[in-house]
């Protein structure tokens, strides 16, 4: 079990739920986010340490890694969770917003992992968990950039798994569908579909802890692996069904 963990995006939703569950297991949690009031309240509640940083800024992830190591000496578990969405037709997405989405959802977790990995490899011990999204595995209308960024996170995590095989550092991936958090309000389009039914942030957090202890891919809910498998085995059929039943979220 990890003794220290860095959870990005711990100021809200899945990250906050993950931080609480880790703290209950006795882990000292470094709580990252931007909202300093929320981080301070969570630090008080969990006994963790607040570390504010805007991951859209170049160099912020590497600096966050340095601060984390300076505080705890080692980060046993890194949970790459911070992220945000944007929904709408691609031509309505500004170039600046596009860069922001890629910076926070894709570049930051890659940078942070790169910065913390050497210390993990030196101790031959470490756990890295990525919070990806079903959007990155199936594609979603109106969320092409978000889906591409999450797909990139998936490919990075999978590749790193191969690279780290035989070392003491493990990689887990959590693939949520729809989760009841502020995500949808923030992305600018509420979630109105009936399926997949929204799950709680606590349920996704439990999958994050499982992915740390027993590395693998964890879909939440589990049945989401079915459309992904269908898309892999019969992409034409998948596209026809998605077009018929809607590929928007």
Ligand X SMILES: NC(=O)c1ccc[n+]([C@@H]2O[C@H](COP(=O)([O-])OP(=O)(O)OC[C@H]3O[C@@H](n4cnc5c(N)ncnc54)[C@H](OP(=O)(O)O)[C@@H]3O)[C@@H](O)[C@H]2O)c1
Which residues lie near ligand X (CB under 6 A)?
Answer: 9, 11-15, 33-35, 54-56, 81-84, 104, 131, 133, 176, 178-179, 181-183, 186, 201
Q: Which member of 146, 218, 219, 238 is catalytic?
A: 146
Provide the minimum distance between the beta carbon of 34 and ligand X in the complex, in angstroms, as a whole number. Answer: 4
Q: Is the peptide bond prior to 184 cis by the omega test (within 30 degrees of 0)?
A: no
Complex with ligand X: residue 33 or 227, whichever CB lies closer: 33
Q: Where are the beta strands (DSSP E) in 20-112?
A: 28-33, 49-52, 77-80
Complex with ligand X: residue 44 or 165, whichever CB lies closer: 44
Provide the minimum distance between the beta carbon of 236 and ligand X in the complex, in angstroms, as a whole number. Answer: 26
Give 167-205 as a DSSP string.
SSEEEEEEEES-BSSTHHHHHTS----SSSPPB-HHHHH
For the chain, the first-to-last Cα distance in angstroms comes to 36
Closest CA to 205 of 186, 185, 220: 220
Provide the minimum distance between the beta carbon of 80 and ligand X in the complex, in angstroms, as a whole number. Answer: 8
Return the bridge partners of 141, or none. Answer: 248
Complex with ligand X: residue 125 or 180, whichever CB lies closer: 180
Annotated active-site residue 146? The verdict is yes
Known catalytic residues are 146
């Amino acid at each position: 079990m990890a003794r220290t963990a860095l959870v990005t995006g711990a100021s809200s939703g899945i990250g906050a739920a993950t931080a609480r569950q880790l703290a209950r297991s006795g882990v000292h949690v470094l709580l990252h986010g931007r909202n300093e009031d929320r981080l301070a309240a969570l630090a008080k509640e969990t006994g963790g340490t607040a570390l504010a940083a805007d991951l859209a800024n170049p160099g912020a992830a590497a600096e966050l890694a340095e601060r984390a190591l300076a505080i705890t000496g080692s980060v046993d578990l890194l949970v790459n969770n911070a992220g945000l969405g944007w929904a709408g037709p691609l031509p309505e997405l500004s170039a600046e917003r596009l860069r922001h989405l890629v910076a926070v959802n894709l570049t930051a977790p890659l940078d942070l992992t790169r910065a913390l990995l050497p210390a993990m490899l030196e101790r031959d011990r470490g756990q890295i968990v990525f919070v990806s999204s079903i959007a990155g595995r199936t594609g979603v209308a109106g969320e092409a950039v978000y889906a591409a960024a999450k797909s990139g996170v998936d490919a990075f995590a999978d590749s790193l798994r191969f690279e780290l095989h035989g070392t003491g550092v493990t990689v887990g991936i959590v693939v949520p569908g729809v989760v009841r958090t502020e995500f949808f309000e923030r992305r600018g389009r509420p979630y109105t579909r009936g399926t997949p039914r929204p799950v709680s942030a606590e349920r996704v957090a439990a999958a994050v802890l499982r992915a740390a202890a027993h590395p693998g891919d964890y879909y939440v809910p589990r049945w989401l692996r079915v459309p992904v498998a269908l898309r892999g085995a019969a992409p034409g059929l998948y596209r026809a069904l998605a077009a018929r039943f809607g590929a928007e979220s």
